[in-house]
Chains A and B, each alone.
Chain A
Amino acid sequence: MNLDAKIPEGLIAEKWSSHKFKMKLVNPANRRKYHVIVVGSGLAGGAAAASLAEQGYNVSCFCYQDSPRRAHSIAAQGGINAAKNYQNDGDSVHRLFYDTVKGGDYRAREANVYRLAEVSSSIIDQCVASGVPFAREYGGQLANRSFGGAQVSRTFYARGQTGQQLLLGAYASLSRQIGLGKVKMYNRHEMLDVVKVDGHAKGIIVRNMVTGKISRHAGDCVVLATGGYGNVFFLSTNAQGCNVTAAYRAYKRGAGFANPCYTQIHPTCIPVHGDQQSKLTLMSESLRNDGRVWAPKSAETARQIRAGKLQANDVPEDGRDYYLERKYPSFGNLAPRDISSRAAKEACDEGRGIAATGLGVYLDFRDAIKRDGRKAIEERYGNLFDMYQCITGDNPYEVPMMIFPAVHYAMGGLWVDYNLESTIPGMFVGGEANFSDHGANRLGASALMQGLADGYFVLPYTVGNYLGEQGVAAAGKVTTEHPAFAEVEAEVQARMDKLLSINGTESPRSFHKRLGQIVWDKCGMARSKEGLESAIKEVQALRKEFWENVRVVGEAEGINPELEKAGRVADFMEFGELMCRDALMREESCGGHFRVEHQTADGEAMRDDENFAFVGVWEYLGDDTEPALHREPLIYENVKLATRSYK
């Protein structure tokens, strides 16, 4: 597997501009001869489809929802980072770059992260121009706030609905292109496989989720922006439809899968209420700007609270352990996500957890309300407080919120080079679906930034460069008549038929839940060699059972949510094993990946830069063969590797 990252020569601050200059350009009159396939319509996919169409390429865009406006980017609440330094507080491109590399626990690729920081300013400009109603100050200037893991205020926001507003901005641009006929939009279509011709990605196979019809689509290249794989855990903050299928199918066709064990567990989610639950709800990290996180100091107090004999508000000040402020005085409640999550788990492991299950800690606004007044808090977090009350029935203005970590984001993803091209030539990957920018841990408000950076400012260049290199003579030459399409379509069809014919006794959801339990227990917040080895065996056994005993009701034709679910769970069954394998291979703790064997005396993550400063990239070799591990070494020329300290 060729893992040449194609990082341009030169100073880090000049790499992107000199690379752009060296890229092949496609004559505007020739662009209409090319056809680009974009899968996914979130920030990365929607922005890429819109921008490529603006440039003059013909685009087909696919999403599984009923409208591109519903992609899961919409659920991001807190904000988007940009190195604007509007607050005059010492921010710069270099600082955002540095914070992101450090926040990722030195497991991200420097050049990509620098570019991300570099284009971050343009993203805000672009969003404002397209009508995103960011929060403003009275003088009419944009407002900022500080966000988890940063000591400057560089986060732009639109109430607690930043993701929604950014997505609506990208969706508006995309809609304009759909109206102009430059983008053909395929709603309610799910990508089930990728088609390669002469080694290059030249098309996809999709299922129309309304008619059930499976069809072929050919293009000059393929862009995947299909999101993350957090739903492998069954319970996560991801939308119900989020899945790994597109990325995993690409992996099986030769795309390297990088760092699948890097998953982010977000510290501020609403605790699990019981086994009827289908999904976890995130409370924005912005709440940690004013809320103080605490657990009872003694396990006895916690026990009384759990038993309903004591109320949180009645716990005296000296009975409270504001553990983030205690352990990380300089960052306090704003400590990065991986660190905050582990600290919460630690408190609960010590028996100091609250909520009925003992898996919860408090996020308390008492002091903030006393300091700033209820009105100010209402203005900042009103909709989040309402949401919390709606879900739990508790009023967070009066009693502290209960929170617990939950799976939220996937830092791992398909391996891409500097051009965001995967190991399959002609297949580009953007947004959460790729691996490149967040290392082993993502900082708050950086996902929106990355999605839009890829979609608006990176892919439109690098895709054009690829098409230019292929030459205009090749444009549109591959059609769905090529035998490769028939071959892949037959495989997809056979898989569908198989799923429908097993006729077992257990539902796809039930299998999914069981899979989720295994990976959460053994490949979740804390991982051990022993646990991972047993998880791999358990997942294999479960997968075998799935293919013998899954029950998919309904038919291949028409709307069939069970069939959709079964296909996704089948891929999660394989992917879960890959994730555990990666976690087992990585004999160190870094960011969201915490191996219990590798920790300091006070329970902090212990990285091993000597042996593990690399991207672990997996190559598929067959269903019955173990995947091969390849390494892309991470070379740090601009940031000094250091122990990440937030103390």
Chain B
Amino acid sequence: MNLTLKVWRQKNAGTAGRFVEYPLKDVSEDSSFLEMLDILNEELVEQGQEPVAFDHDCREGICGMCSMTINGTAHGPQRATTACQLHMRHFHDGETITIEPWRAKPFPVMKDLIVDRSPFDRIIQSGGFITGRAGSAVDANAMPIPKSTADYAMDAAACIGCGACVAACPNASAMLFTAAKVVHMNSLPQGKAEKDRRTLAMVTTMDGEGFGGCTNIGECEAVCPKQISLDMIAHLNRDYAAAQVKDFFKQV
């Protein structure tokens, strides 16, 4: 298939970016979206131009590195799919495809389609863990965990930290990401000891990083490649309210 690509080009964080149009010919419909960009980049290199910089690594939809908005939708038109797992058969011959980086203030553009998602790491560093030294654990079966609980924690833990939720949210809220991480740990018995502390710390860090508030729009859920449910946000709000109340009475 032949395509026209409108790609966001930006030299670095300090300069302004703009869309540049590139025609691209003979793309196989079995190619993935990123393979299509590989082809474009090979052509650009051949012409002595700098290729389009984009984040990518595993190309199996699991590392969460790829991050681009395709025709206005984070990760593109296919539901529950990362950009790397999106295939060209979902586009048609002659189509013009617009490709831009995640647009969110806390995720500044570093170059072309690459953004800085380090705020996510800092949210985890503030509380997204269960404290315990290697070697101190009891036998794994010492604490039976109901299957439904384990499954629910896994639903939350499936988050790949790509940031599509933030990119899709009109408020650039990171609630879906934070909720997934909080709920994963909070719902497991081993995570209960630090539940309140974790919830307060992670929400505080999230706010401090400049993410917007959640107004229940649901764009995040719609673009999430792992289909993390909005229910996670409700769960986070519940845990957060409980933690705040407890925290309040602790101070009295």
Asked if A74 meets B63 with Cβ closer than 8 Å, knowing A131-B185, A387-B85, A390-B81, the reply is yes
Q: Please, how many angstroms separate the alpha-carbon atoms of A369 and B136 in the complex?
A: 43
A128 interface residue per 8 A CB criterion = yes
- Residues of A close to B42: CB separation below 8 A: 507, 509-510
A556 interface residue per 8 A CB criterion = no
Q: Of residues 444 to 500 in A, which have CB atoms within 8 Å of B's CB atoms?
A: 456-457, 460
A68, A159, A172 — most chain B CB neighbours (10 Å): A172
- Residues of B close to A561: CB separation below 8 A: 51, 53
B111 interface residue per 8 A CB criterion = yes
Q: Contact: A67 with B35, CB < 8 Å?
A: no
Q: Contact: B140 with A136, CB < 8 Å?
A: no
A241 interface residue per 8 A CB criterion = yes
Q: Contact: B141 with A142, CB < 8 Å?
A: yes
A69 interface residue per 8 A CB criterion = yes
- Residues of B close to A66: CB separation below 8 A: 55, 65, 116-118
B138 interface residue per 8 A CB criterion = yes
For the complex formed, measure the closest distance between the CB of A176 and the CB atoms of chain B, giving whole angstroms.
4
Interface string of A549-561 (1 = CB under 8 A from B): 0010110001101
Q: Contact: B58 with A74, CB < 8 Å?
A: yes
Stretch at the interface among A160-168, A318-326, A520-528: A160-168
| B12 contact from A128, A277, A558, Cβ within 8 A | A558
B243 interface residue per 8 A CB criterion = no
Q: Please, how many angstroms separate the alpha-carbon atoms of A149 and B30 in the complex?
A: 33
- Residues of A close to B45: CB separation below 8 A: 507, 509, 551, 553, 562
Q: Is the interface of B mostly helix, strand, loop or mixed?
A: loop
Q: Contact: B157 with A168, CB < 8 Å?
A: yes
Q: Contact: A125 with B56, CB < 8 Å?
A: no
Q: Please, how many angstroms separate the alpha-carbon atoms of A66 and B53 in the complex?
A: 14
B158 interface residue per 8 A CB criterion = yes
Q: Of residues 342 to 399 in A, which have CB atoms within 8 Å of B's CB atoms?
A: 386-387, 390-391, 393
For the complex formed, measure the closest distance between the CB of A16 and the CB atoms of chain B, giving whole angstroms.
13
Q: Contact: A179 with B126, CB < 8 Å?
A: yes
B62 interface residue per 8 A CB criterion = yes
A141 interface residue per 8 A CB criterion = yes
> What residue in chain A is nearest B81 (Cβ atoms)?
A390
Asked if A281 meets B60 with Cβ closer than 8 Å, knowing A126-B137, A172-B124, the reply is yes
- Residues of B close to A274: CB separation below 8 A: 28, 30-31
Number of A-B contacts defined by CB within 8 Å: 230
Stretch at the interface among B142-150, B164-172, B234-242: B142-150
Asked if A241 meets B190 with Cβ closer than 8 Å, knowing A65-B65, A75-B63, A273-B28, the reply is no
Asked if A136 meets B134 with Cβ closer than 8 Å, knowing A179-B125, A276-B28, A558-B12, the reply is no
- Residues of A close to B53: CB separation below 8 A: 559, 561
> What residue in chain A is nearest B139 (Cβ atoms)?
A125
Asked if A126 meets B60 with Cβ closer than 8 Å, knowing A139-B144, A173-B129, A277-B31, the reply is no
Q: How large is the interface on B (under 10, 10 to 19, 20 to 34, 35 or more residues)?
A: 35 or more
Q: Contact: B57 with A136, CB < 8 Å?
A: no
For the complex formed, measure the closest distance between the CB of A330 and the CB atoms of chain B, giving whole angstroms.
30
A84 interface residue per 8 A CB criterion = yes
Q: Contact: A140 with B144, CB < 8 Å?
A: yes
Q: Of residues 491 to 544 in A, which have CB atoms within 8 Å of B's CB atoms?
A: 507, 509-510
Interface string of B51-77 (1 = CB under 8 A from A): 101011111111111000000000000
A124 interface residue per 8 A CB criterion = yes
Q: Please, how many angstroms separate the alpha-carbon atoms of A139 and B144 in the complex?
A: 7
Q: Please, how many angstroms separate the alpha-carbon atoms of A561 and B114 in the complex?
A: 11
Q: Please, how many angstroms separate the alpha-carbon atoms of A241 and B65 in the complex?
A: 11
> What residue in chain A is nearest B49 (Cβ atoms)?
A553
- Residues of A close to B161: CB separation below 8 A: 67, 69
Interface string of B19-39 (1 = CB under 8 A from A): 000000001101110111011
For the complex formed, measure the closest distance between the CB of B57 and the CB atoms of chain A, giving whole angstroms.
4
For the complex formed, measure the closest distance between the CB of B227 and the CB atoms of chain A, giving whole angstroms.
10
- Residues of B close to A510: CB separation below 8 A: 42
For the complex formed, measure the closest distance between the CB of B147 and the CB atoms of chain A, giving whole angstroms.
5
Q: Please, how many angstroms separate the alpha-carbon atoms of A269 and B8 in the complex?
A: 34
Q: Please, how many angstroms separate the alpha-carbon atoms of A387 and B121 in the complex?
A: 27
A-B contact list, 11 entries, CB within 8 Å: A65-B57, A70-B57, A86-B141, A130-B130, A138-B146, A140-B146, A173-B134, A210-B110, A241-B57, A390-B87, A553-B45
Residues of A bordering B, CB below 8 Å = 47, 50-51, 54, 65-70, 72, 74-75, 84, 86, 122, 124-131, 133-142, 158-159, 161, 163-165, 168, 171-173, 175-176, 178-179, 185, 187, 210, 237, 239-241, 273-274, 276-279, 281-282, 386-387, 390-391, 393, 456-457, 460, 507, 509-510, 551, 553-554, 558-559, 561-562
9 more contacts with CB within 8 A, not counting A68-B121, A558-B111, are A72-B57, A75-B58, A129-B138, A172-B129, A173-B134, A391-B85, A507-B46, A509-B38, A559-B114
Ranked nearest first, the 3 interchain pairs of A and B with the lowest CB-CB distance are: A140-B144, A179-B125, A129-B137
